[in-house]
């Protein structure tokens, strides 16, 4: 079973994010500047790759992981997160551009949530960092809605048939964060230890959190 939850807004209006196949003027300027700096020997391309890797896999997802771990550890915080995610996330100091209008959706034994941005690559930067390349790709953006189970299978995630898959379409007005299920056997773990288990993909919905 699967369902698609559209955004409820005109996705191609009032939208200030890059389409994956047509670079924006800003993106072109950044690429040009990067090329000039590299050509002049002022910037090491390997260092740039390291910085991008750091922000994509470390800084942003770490923030989201702390939000998830707090929700697992503190029922009152979890209620606030599911009621007003923007405010609850800001409680932990994570806010800013592209994180202004957040909604948290909870995975349960009966429901699995998957996030996509069908026309662009809207993404909650304050809690997840930079979006992975596959998130911005046309195949993911189209197929996540049409055949979410097949997409999840390609990520190595096969869900029982009786689990409903809900697909959430991010927009310039609203972005989603998946609250994964807490794995069993983690009752004695600290919040910090729990956060270390949470991955970026589990907060997008293309993975689940496994016990250590």
Selected catalytic residue, list 120, 170, 184, 202: 120
Other CB atoms within 10 Å distance of the CB of residue 106:
14
CA distance 109 to 211: 16
Selected catalytic residue, list 2, 73, 121, 210: 121
Other CB atoms within 10 Å distance of the CB of residue 20:
18
Q: 2 catalytic, yes or no?
A: no
Tokens of 163: 């689990």
Burial (0-12, 13-18, 19+ Cβ within 10 Å), 33:
exposed
Selected catalytic residue, list 3, 24, 73, 122: 122
Q: 120 catalytic, yes or no?
A: yes
Q: 121 catalytic, yes or no?
A: yes
**Which ranges of 21-74 would DSSP assign to H, the alpha helix?**
25-39, 45-54, 60-73
111-116 sheet: strands from edge to edge: 2-5, 164-169, 111-116
- Strand stretches in 33-182, DSSP E: 102-106, 111-116, 164-169, 175-179
CB-side neighbour CA atoms (13 Å) of 162:
2
CA distance 138 to 71: 33
Q: 202 catalytic, yes or no?
A: no
Instruction: Supply the residues annotated as catalytic.
Output: 117, 120-122
């Amino acid at each position: 079973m699967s369902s698609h939850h559209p955004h409820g807004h005109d996705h191609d209006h009032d939208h200030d994010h890059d389409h994956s196949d047509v670079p924006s003027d800003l993106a072109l300027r950044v690429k040009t500047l990067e090329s000039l700096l590299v050509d002049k020997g002022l910037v090491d391309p390997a260092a740039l790759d390291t910085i991008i890797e750091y922000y994509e896999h470390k800084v942003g997802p770490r923030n989201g992981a702390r939000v998830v771990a707090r929700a697992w550890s503190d029922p009152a915080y979890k209620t606030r997160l599911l009621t007003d995610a923007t405010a609850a996330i800001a409680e932990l100091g994570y806010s800013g551009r592209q994180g202004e209008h957040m909604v948290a959706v909870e995975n349960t034994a009966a429901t699995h949530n998957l996030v996509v941005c069908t026309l662009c690559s809207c993404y909650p930067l304050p809690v997840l960092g930079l979006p992975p390349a596959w998130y911005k790709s046309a195949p993911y953006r189209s197929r996540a809605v049409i055949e979410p189970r097949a997409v999840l299978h390609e990520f190595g995630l096969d869900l029982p048939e009786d689990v409903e898959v809900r697909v959430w379409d991010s927009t310039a007005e609203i972005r989603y964060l998946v609250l994964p299920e807490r794995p069993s056997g983690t009752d004695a773990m600290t919040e910090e230890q729990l956060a270390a288990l949470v991955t970026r993909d589990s907060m997008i919905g293309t993975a689940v959190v496994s016990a250590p």
